[in-house]
Chains A and B, each alone.
Chain A
Amino acid sequence: MSGTGADDTILAVDHLSIASMAGTTVLDAVSLQVRRGEVLALIGASGSGKTTLALAALGHLRPGLVTTGGSVRLDGTDMLKAPQAVLNRMRGQTASYIAQSAAAAFNPRIRLGDQVIESALLHRSQTPDQARARARELFSYISLPTPDRIGTRFPYQVSGGQLQRFMIAMGMQEEPLLLVCDEPTSALDVTTQVEVMRLLKQVIADNQTAALFVSHDLAVVAQIATRIAVMRAGRIVEIGETRQIIESPREDYTRELIAACQHLSLGALAQKPPRAAQGAAKALTVAGLTAGYGKVAGGVPQIPTLHGVDLQVGKGEIVAVIGESGSGKTTLARVIAGLHAPALGTVTLNGEMLAGLDAQRTAAQRRRVQLAVQMADTALNPKHRLRRILGRVLFFFHGLKGAAAEARMRELLAMVSLPAHYLDRYPTEISGGEKQRVNLARALAAEPEILICDEITSALDTIVAGQIVALVKRLRDELGLTIIFISHDLATVASIADRVTVLRHGRVVEAGESAAVLSAPTDPYTRLLVASVPELRQGWLEDAAAMRAALATQLEASRPDAA
């Protein structure tokens, strides 16, 4: 534990405690070390203190936080006591930071190249010519297009994946000893995530850089870390070699994390019994749906997001709609729910044709299709207690009041495994997972036939997401609901869906039984998606990258907008 091999240790955190000014403990006597060339992953749920710890490695505390004990030594310097000038010299040079959202972390009004070389010029560690040459070299190394010119672009002129590459280039500009990566791939689509992860791994290996790698995703971490530290509520629960943590975890919480991860893996498909074919009774049919934004001319909107989409959902089925950002999956959910008017095409509910907008649908039709949305924060009115949120729906659709309504509300909360006293709480007083449960309870209060779940797990931590998925499945089994489950996350979908529809750029590229589609996809894009889902085994990343390279050419040819 006591770092005697001082030469070898780059970062030594010793009994570090950090609290908020209001007195809440954020970090509780955390100790860890990162040695030269080693990648230490910090894994934990949101609020576990992992980002605070990562920033403390650079001697930075966010406003409102104070150190209450312990020390952080980076290359021998006490980062919590060092004067600002020393910190400024070390940041970028000794340790650099790679932020989660590159889109927010680049200054929108400064050219990317200038931002990448800024530290080096400030530190005078490189002359302007050297710095520019180094930047060009890095841009080429991380496969940015036209490396000699791309640095003149502004952040808004490149894609999200490219921005994350710039972030990596910026981190490597001065060849620091330590790279602090804070969820570097969480904001990216899965297919982009593979690329960026492979790149990071390569950069770290090629430069023998040490890294502190923060993530909530164990599968991601398993690909890149030499050691893993599991954090929970400001403490390190368990720390060990990657193989040991994955294969023989010692703590219950670690086991729970791994279980949640495996639960969501494609491996689950193999164990899933094929659901009896119920094909005959179609609960919902979507045919030839075209929708988008702007003026509609000749059945095509100015900015189309869906092109002639078909979808069939049988009674009691869970049908998943999969797609990355920009695939049009949320538009599809909103059209079915009547929140967004289609330009062309029809939505049929049990043989009844539904009007485009809910204003033209009958009250019964509106009740029968319910939507649960991704951001539970904006889905629940923060100024209303849960009693009012649920009660309003009961009153509106069923005229329930007083004791009858109260009893039904308790029943609803029980259905989503929340205690009855939560009725008196405001949405701001419950956790993200609980909000999502309330979100579902409100949809259930209408007693719908069709429940549309739009990315309801994507804002949640792995374990909580797993619980919500299990809840959705249970609700289908108990209530016989028909569920349209929209997600970008194949792993989530694999464990729950009977059938799958894959959307890309607003078109259906593949649809069928989920076991068939996900275990033997025929479309190259689906194959790419499937190959991009991180698996909890070492060596997966290399396989995925190879697969991706092979699929890239096929995909390029099949780009719908290339035509």
Chain B
Amino acid sequence: MAHFIAWRLLATLLLLFIVSLLVFWACEILPGDVAQVALGQYATPENVKALRIEMGLNQPPLQRYLQWLVGAVQGDWGRSLVTKSPVSGLLSERVANTALLAGITTLIAVPLAIALGVVMAMWNGRALDRGASIVILALSATPEFLLATLLVLLFAVNLGWLPAVAYLSTGSGLGQTARALLLPTASLVVVVTAQIARMTRAILGNILTQAYIEMAILKGVPGRRVVARHALRNAVGPIANVVALNTAYLVSGIVVVETIFAYPGLARLMIDSVQSRDLPVVQACAMIFCATYVLLILLADVMARVFDPRSLPQRPMDAI
């Protein structure tokens, strides 16, 4: 087990290293002369030359990459091309805000989705299951911005109960924060819940066709217990995997939702930086998103492994 985790950790580190190479390559080499990009229409040959020296662009790419990497590992992402201030200063609050949004969404959506999936599986094939399946299918295929727009239209424009824009500042109280978070979180929860519930239902549905499920039924195990004990145990690994992988949707959902509600999160920062071609900030944001994502996939792999009986220790007979 420890060996497995160590090995996967190593693979993850290697992956992150490759990702850093790709991000660096995309942001510093692909666009051509970054100094030219930074100066935009004010670029004169002299200006560009001066800025190139200032940014260290006259050094070979490998050296620049290593400097950037060493800095990034220590939390120093360089300076923004737009504000000229250190990127790390821009990040801290944004990361916290996005983590808050993503965290609350996950805390609500994951248990809700698994419960829904399990309940649907217990009602296997009956009207409730089929009806819920169609609703869930529709919701999981709906873009976040439709849901978010409709929520804004209803609660902010028509009813006026909640703010259409999620202002968050360091000084905002709990009540204000909660009001600001309500609509963005709701938009994300609906889509993420639908997606995880749908896959949970599919995984369980697949397991319910196995011979050992029929055997449990023929042993007199009641239907609900068949799902909760016999099927769910075998579904834990795949479901953990699905949950972690759904953070992919969460990332794209966060990008959209932060845009609609002008939520001051990391995704919003990244989009603004892409628009202003503030490449050091884009690099930093991309690395943080990718690292989080890669670590969640690692977590999914480890979870699937943990719930494999092959990794459980033996137990004496009197414990059965």
Direct contact of A and B (CB under 8 A): yes
Name A's B-contacting residues (CB within 8 A). 55, 58, 60, 62-63, 84-85, 87-93, 96-97, 99, 101, 104-111, 113-114, 117-119, 122-123, 132, 135-136, 148-154, 156, 170
* Given A110-B233, A118-B219: 6 more A-B contacts, CB < 8 Å: A55-B218, A62-B214, A105-B214, A113-B317, A119-B220, A152-B314
Is the beta-carbon distance between B230 and A92 smaller than 8 angstroms? no
CA A88 to CA B220, docked complex, whole Å: 4
Chain B, residue nearest A101 (CB): B211
CA A135 to CA B319, docked complex, whole Å: 13
Interface code B294-320, partner A: CB below 8 Å = 1, 0 otherwise? Answer: 000000000000010110101111111
Q: Given A99-B215, A108-B212, A151-B320, are A122 and B233 also a contact pair (CB < 8 Å)?
A: no
Measured between beta carbons, the chain A residues less than 8 angstroms from B316 are: 149, 152
Number of A-B contacts (CB under 8 A): 100
Is the beta-carbon distance between B217 and A60 smaller than 8 angstroms? yes
Q: Given A104-B212, A136-B317, are A109 and B309 also a contact pair (CB < 8 Å)?
A: yes
The 10 A-B pairs at the shortest CB distance, nearest first, are namely: A91-B220, A104-B211, A113-B320, A97-B218, A88-B220, A105-B215, A109-B233, A107-B212, A92-B220, A154-B309
Q: Which of A105, A106, A122, A148 counts the most B-chain CB atoms under 10 A from its CB? A: A105
B228 within 8 A of partner (CB): no
Measured between beta carbons, the chain B residues less than 8 angstroms from A105 are: 211-212, 214-215
B38 within 8 A of partner (CB): no
Contact of A156 (CB < 8 Å), options: B221, B310, B319: B310
Q: Could you write out 15 A-B pairs with CB less than 8 Å apart?
A: A105-B214, A106-B212, A108-B212, A109-B233, A109-B307, A110-B229, A110-B230, A113-B317, A122-B221, A132-B320, A148-B317, A150-B317, A151-B317, A152-B315, A153-B314
Is the beta-carbon distance between B320 and A123 smaller than 8 angstroms? no
Is the beta-carbon distance between A89 and B320 smaller than 8 angstroms? no
B175 within 8 A of partner (CB): no
Chain B residues touching A, majority SS: helix
Chain B, residue nearest A150 (CB): B317
CA A113 to CA B318, docked complex, whole Å: 10
Q: Which of B215, B218, B319 counts the most A-chain CB atoms under 10 A from its CB? A: B218
B222 within 8 A of partner (CB): yes
Measured between beta carbons, the chain B residues less than 8 angstroms from A89 are: 220
Chain A, residue nearest B231 (CB): A107
CA A101 to CA B215, docked complex, whole Å: 11
Is the beta-carbon distance between B215 and A96 smaller than 8 angstroms? no
Q: How far is the CB of B234 from chain A (nearest CB, A)?
A: 5
CA A151 to CA B221, docked complex, whole Å: 20
B223 within 8 A of partner (CB): yes
CA A387 to CA B313, docked complex, whole Å: 56
B90 within 8 A of partner (CB): no
Chain A, residue nearest B222 (CB): A88
Q: How far is the CB of B305 from chain A (nearest CB, A)?
A: 13
Measured between beta carbons, the chain A residues less than 8 angstroms from B222 are: 84-85, 88, 122
Q: How far is the CB of A538 from chain B (nearest CB, A)?
A: 30
Interface code B205-240, partner A: CB below 8 Å = 1, 0 otherwise? Answer: 000001110111111111101000110011000000
